[in-house]
Amino acid sequence: MKFIAVANQKGGVGKTTTAVNLAAALAEAGQPTLLLDLDPQANATSGLGLAPEAGGSIYRAMIGERPVQQQIRPTAHERLSIIPSELDLVGCEIEIASLDQPQHQLRQVLQPLHEQRTFDYLIMDCPPSLGILMTNSLVAADGLLIPVQSEFYALEGISKILDLTQRLREQGLNPGLQLVGVLLTMFDARTRLSQQVMTELQQHLPDQVFNTIIPRSIRLGEAPSFGQSILQYDPHGVGAHSYRQLAAEFTARLQ
């Protein structure tokens, strides 16, 4: 089982859209997948049509009240399960901070999933900050996927998360953490800016930018308000197509 963090401390770059639809596409392709919503905003949870419920997040497991398996819920997709989020998760940051090794908590909590082998992938949707939840996710992860919006300052944002990743490796907190890839999102082929960002990214991070590019699409933006992944909402559209393509490239990269 591979643990993947979908992270970028910058807000609104397509993390949740990518976590939800990549997870749905992996499941559709036959791979049992677990989505972990680590953002108190609970966008991945509501985006898959679940209502956040008190006590339903990873928080209870993080403070040792419940085994992680008890927090797993089914979704409308075959082979796709979720550990939802809810506002409680805010408290997690505070509570975890007082532990001996606060950065290790999630890794320990998730350990039984590794051993159980029910799922092929765990996809973690991180909140937009370099806080303790994101650090926990990066310490627990085998791989990191960074969504980047095709706009100015895209590179600046990436260097911050890459620095953090490097620090975690050097401090021995997660020496094996692999960058699976950088994903261009909300790409608009008609604008020069999108093209510029793509060229710049490919120059700075050769071989690390996914060939798959996620276009800007109204349908992708609409799907969450219906509580559906793009594979349900518009299964034959360009958004569904690009996330299926991403799932294939992602799987190939991890092999």
Ligand X SMILES: Nc1ncnc2c1ncn2[C@@H]1O[C@H](COP(=O)(O)OP(=O)(O)OP(=O)(O)O)[C@@H](O)[C@H]1O
Which residues contact ligand X by CB under 6 A? 11-17, 39, 43, 128, 185-186, 214, 216-217, 220-221, 224
**Alpha-carbon distance values, 215 to 113, 142, 183, 221 (Å):** 34, 27, 11, 11
What is the rounded distance in angstroms from the CA atom of residue 54 to the CA atom of residue 4? 26
Any contact of residue 9 with Mg ion (CB under 5 A)?
A: no
In the complex, what is the shortest distance from the CB of residue 186 to Mg ion, in angstroms, rounded to a whole number?
Answer: 13
**Residue 220: contacted member of ligand X, Mg ion, none (CB under 5 to 8 Å, by partner type):** ligand X
In the complex, what is the shortest distance from the CB of residue 185 to ligand X, in angstroms, rounded to a whole number?
Answer: 5
What is the rounded distance in angstroms from the CA atom of residue 31 to the CA atom of residue 123? 12
**Residue 216: contacted member of Mg ion, ligand X, none (CB under 5 to 8 Å, by partner type):** ligand X
**Alpha-carbon distance values, 130 to 91, 146, 188 (Å):** 16, 13, 28
**Residue 11: contacted member of Mg ion, ligand X, none (CB under 5 to 8 Å, by partner type):** ligand X
Any contact of residue 212 with Mg ion (CB under 5 A)?
A: no
What would the x/- binding string for Mg ion be over residues 36 to 55, using CB under 5 A? Answer: -------x------------
In the complex, what is the shortest distance from the CB of residue 126 to ligand X, in angstroms, rounded to a whole number?
Answer: 8
Q: C-alpha angle 70/72/78, rounded to 5°?
A: 140
CB closer to Mg ion, 8 vs 33: 8
How do 33-37 and 80-83 pair as beta strands?
parallel
In the complex, what is the shortest distance from the CB of residue 215 to ligand X, in angstroms, rounded to a whole number?
Answer: 6
Any contact of residue 16 with Mg ion (CB under 5 A)?
A: yes
| Count of CA atoms in the C-beta half-sphere (13 A) of 129 | 9
What is the rounded distance in angstroms from the CA atom of residue 72 to the CA atom of residue 137? 17
**Alpha-carbon distance values, 83 to 23, 31, 43, 221 (Å):** 13, 17, 12, 23
In the complex, what is the shortest distance from the CB of residue 142 to ligand X, in angstroms, rounded to a whole number?
Answer: 21
**Residue 64: contacted member of ligand X, Mg ion, none (CB under 5 to 8 Å, by partner type):** none
Q: Residue 51 has what DSSP assignment?
A: P
Residues in the interface with Mg ion (CB under 5 A) total 3
In the complex, what is the shortest distance from the CB of residue 209 to ligand X, in angstroms, rounded to a whole number?
Answer: 16
Question: Where along the sequence are the contacts to Mg ion (CB under 5 A)?
Answer: 15-16, 43
